[in-house]
Amino acid sequence: MEFSYEVKDSYAEVKADGRLNMVSAPKLREFVTDVIAGGSNRIVVNLENTAFMDSSGLGALIGCLKAARQAGGDLRIAAVQPQVKMVLQLTSMDKVLTSYTSAEEAFSND
């Protein structure tokens, strides 16, 4: 899995490309923690190229959400693909991790 980020006007967009599994989950957590430490507390994780997520990956997203909120911000997810959507729905975490069509849309109404 490859991570990248870009600071936009009102949020930081994190891209996580590949499989978000037990191998990459701790790396995502570390990556987002660093982005928050760099001064961005409004995070959009763009999952457009995240073809797979398991419960470890989901746990990492929840950890990142908590870290963003502790820093006074929030974390939202965007461009969720079918397998990730399925895992979010089956675990009822789609109610906690708000999903948006695109990264631009995620904080557009705030």
Residues contacting 48, CB < 8 A, separation 6+: 15, 78, 79, 81
Q: Give CA separation, 56 vs 32, 43, 65, in Å.
A: 15, 19, 14
22, amino acid identity: M
The 5-44 site mask, x for binding other proteins (CB under 8 A), equals --------------x-xxx---------------------
CB nearer other proteins, residue 8 or residue 19: 19
Residues 46-105 within binding reach of other proteins (CB under 8 A): 52, 54-56, 58-60, 62-63, 66, 82-83, 86-87, 90-91, 93, 95-96
Q: Which H helix or E strand runs over 85?
A: helix 82-90
Q: Which residues here bind other proteins, judged by CB under 8 A?
A: 19, 21-23, 52, 54-56, 58-60, 62-63, 66, 82-83, 86-87, 90-91, 93, 95-96
